Chain A
Amino acid sequence: MAIGLHERRPDRVGDAMTWLCCGALAVSLVLIVGLLGVLAWHGLGYFWQPRLELLALRDGGKVLGAVLEREEIPGAALGADGVAPTRIRVEVGNRDLTGADFRWIDDADVVARSEPRDAALLERLEWGNFHGFVRSVKRGDETLASGADAWPALTRLVAEKARERESLERLEKGELGALNYALERARLAERKLALDAPPEPERTRRADAIAAETKALHARYEALAAQLAEVRQRFDAETVQLEAADGAAKELPVGAVVRAVAPNALGFGGRVGLYLSRVWEFVSADPRESNTEGGIFPAIFGTVMMVFLMSIFVMPFGVIAAVYLREYAKEGIAVRLVRIAVNNLAGVPSIVFGVFGLGFFVYLIGGTIDQLFHPESLPTPTFGTGGILWASLTLALLTVPVVIVSSEEGLAAVPRNVREGSLALGATKFETLWRVVLPAAAPGILTGLILALSRAAGEVAPLMIVGMVKLAPSLPLDGNFPFVHLERKFMHLGFHIYDVGFQSPNVEAAKPLVFATALLLIAVVLATNLLAILVRNHLRQKYATRSI
């Protein structure tokens, strides 16, 4: 029986499979978009300043704050009109006066609501935000401005103080820090001298040199301390007189105000500007108030530097191992066992690597380095404690299987006839490997690095015991010789999320920061991956092995 060409042969199973695959992909996409969406919604909203509302309460009290959400009162009886009573969550600030940043208020208790244009929000170095009204600005006992003039005077002063604070920080962290660093080195030199106990003329010569240097440093220290005291006095000279919504008065040094805004007087442009300036502060500033405010720059820096160091360690190591396994080792039981071991290494829980890093890198290698090269600072360990070097090495160990496996695949993908072409020209095996095979395998090797980067940037558990801390006093890279301080502890975005979200004294205020930091962590991972992918695509174009 002939079948007409227009007769469709139904393919139910095939159609169903197509839909199934399509559906699975759609679900994955929705999950990814959902994940990013949730993070963005919670995280990015944090920087947007809502209007401040002045609420007059039934009991005569007054509250100035931003209404964040409204919900039905759980367990309350329905009202007379059959509507469930609701309550609002208000961010009221003034933690120093009222004890809490947030307050639940029943809607029924609110008698009147208004949005006064002069309502001010002051971000402070301590105690969180202040909500209230600016009454006057004083220098000592002299009133600089009051009434309607007080606000412009304050904003001017705050901008001035921001510049002064910067120079203060430069003095304290920069010059004073460098001086302290030099003093510590001098102290260590003295101690080393005592330990070395060289013969007489040299001992005196070195002791004199150290004493002279210490003296000079102390003199500079005195001068700097005096300068600092003067700057600080000037810095703290002005105060602002404030009044909270309930009438309580508060006096605050203007230097303690980070940012002064009147949200209700701001137009849309002003709000966007405020938003951007807060986002910038978040990514560029140091944290304040046990990490719940300010920025997370040290954590970003620590994460990136640690991942960068890790790639420096893991790449040569993994590639050389893969080259040996694939190109030189004779295929046999030994090589198969090594391969199985490498693959299993990838499955070892990461905390185990952390413990290994602590025992091997920190205690054994670090301890030995301290005894050999830094005996003068013992019992305070230099390398014998967690630090960014040990953390990167631990992560390098954790990710080396990934690099080995992908590098091997990359090497295996280089066609045999290309290798033979090189050998037939009289090139040795190594020359062939170096000039033809490795360049052609580079994209595969970089794929391994990309996977390793993603894995490493997200690891937290093993790092907690080999050098990651909640708050690092200084970055592992700074202006003091030798500039790169591999022994220093560092901050990390992953740990920061945990710390801010679950170890913070002010969980409610820190919650949005958890989401914002998580979003940033994803952005950092994405950025490093993107960089590696760009490099890989460039190499792939340059070293393509297939054409026809």
Chain B
Amino acid sequence: MSSPPTEGPELVPDTATAPLIDKPALTVDGLSLWYGETKALKSISMEIPERKITAFIGPSGCGKSTLLRCFNRLNDLIDGVRVEGDIRFHGASIFDPRVDVNTLRTRIGMVFQRSNPFPKSIYENVAYGCRIHRMQKTRDLDEVVEKSLRGAALWDEVKDRLHESALGLSGGQQQRLCIARAIAVEPEVILLDEPCSALDPIATAKIEDLMQELKQDYTLLTVTHNMQQAARCSDFTAFMYLGEVIEYGETGRLFVKPQVKQTEDYITGRFG
């Protein structure tokens, strides 16, 4: 890990656009990432507020998914990935060698672009994390499963078929199951990587409503292609382009009065 750069103001292109955040859950500090020789993230610095929804928007290949996967160190799995800079979770570096990556991933959960339920029953999908971490006795597991499914607004639809295969659910239900699975281990942060891109508008609306409820308890980070979605449901938005955060601010302000030309061009559809 390189020492965190100190010349803060230079890293955020326009200090005026950086939002004021009093209690950041996550702090990104001069983060750069290389896939082999290709630099995919370029010195990103930003603060993610607690219990808010932060959306990352930008054209394909701008590095928003890569950045999201840095928060739970899922990029570790890819050969040839190199990281510089730092991400601090409640003040502690997540790249610290003493950090147990499995514990980190328990506290920072993730929901993927394509729903990926395990080839198991609905019940076992939700109970999976608890079983792995031996959190609950089997007796209490039923409660955890019910609570998580209710939390993901799925309980009423599946309560009669908990022990059927999760693959029998519709795409939207599967995605909510993945959310239930993520919240069953009681994380603090949930990363949502384009959670609605494979869903129809009705299923998308359900997930968006769910996100509003979840932000009472969790810090949410979401990547989306859909600008209306970002505008509708996020509290803060970061616009990324070619591996850089071009503009980051409160969603209402960013969409109404973008301060950088590129942001304006993108959200008005002039490119992207």
Contact = CB atoms under 8 A, between A and B. Distances in A.
User: Which one of A418, A545, A547 has the greatest number of beta carbons of chain B within 10 Å?
Assistant: A547
B129 A426 contact: yes
B54 interface: no
B185 A426 contact: yes
A425 B111 CA distance: 10
Contacts of A421: 112, 116-118, 178, 181
Contacts of B165: 542, 544
Interface stretch (B100-108, B219-227, B251-259): B100-108
B87 interface: no
B74 A424 contact: yes
Contacts of A426: 102-106, 129, 132-133, 185
Contacts of B110: 424
A436 B77 CA distance: 17
Nearest to A547: B167
A542 to B, nearest CB: 7
B74 A420 contact: yes
Contacts of A323: none
Interface in B51-106: 72, 74, 77, 102-106
B168 interface: yes
A440 B117 CA distance: 12
A417 interface: yes
A435 interface: yes
B211 to A, nearest CB: 18
Given A425-B185, A426-B102, A547-B167, A420 B119 contact: no
Contacts of B117: 421
Give the interface size class of chain B. 20 to 34
A543 B115 CA distance: 16
Nearest to B131: A435
Nearest to B166: A547
Nearest to A541: B165
A425 B129 contact: yes
A424 B72 contact: yes
Contact of A420 (B102, B112, B182): B112
B219 to A, nearest CB: 16
Interface string B102-142: 11111001101011111110000000110111000000000
A492 to B, nearest CB: 39
A220 to B, nearest CB: 55
A452 B112 CA distance: 38
Interface string A505-548: 00000000000000000000000000000000000001111111
Contact of A544 (B102, B112, B119, B129): B119
A49 interface: no
B171 interface: yes
Contacts of B168: 547
A427 B131 CA distance: 10
Nearest to B115: A548
A544 B120 CA distance: 9
Give the interface size class of chain A. 20 to 34
B22 to A, nearest CB: 29
Given A424-B110, A425-B128, A545 B74 contact: no
A417 to B, nearest CB: 4
B167 A436 contact: no
Contact of B119 (A424, A425, A427, A545): A545
B118 A436 contact: yes
B190 to A, nearest CB: 10
B103 to A, nearest CB: 7
Interface in A426-452: 426-428, 431, 435-436, 439-440
B234 interface: no
Interface in A232-259: none
A146 interface: no
A417 B110 CA distance: 12
A431 B174 contact: no
A224 to B, nearest CB: 57
Interface in B239-263: none
Contacts of B167: 544-547
A546 B103 CA distance: 29
Contacts of B181: 421, 425
A428 B131 CA distance: 12
B149 to A, nearest CB: 16
Nearest to A427: B132
A418 B77 contact: no
Contacts of B120: 439, 543
A422 interface: yes
Interface string A394-432: 000000000000000000000101101111111110010
B109 A424 contact: yes
Given A435-B118, A544-B167, 8 more contacts: A421-B118, A421-B178, A421-B181, A422-B128, A426-B103, A426-B105, A435-B132, A547-B174
22 contacts: A415-B116, A417-B114, A417-B116, A421-B112, A421-B116, A421-B181, A423-B77, A423-B105, A424-B72, A424-B74, A426-B106, A426-B132, A427-B128, A435-B132, A436-B119, A439-B119, A542-B119, A543-B120, A544-B165, A545-B167, A546-B167, A547-B174
- Shortest beta-carbon contacts, A-B, top 8: A426-B106, A547-B167, A424-B110, A421-B116, A543-B119, A426-B105, A417-B116, A425-B129
Interface of A: 415, 417-418, 420-428, 431, 435-436, 439-440, 542-548
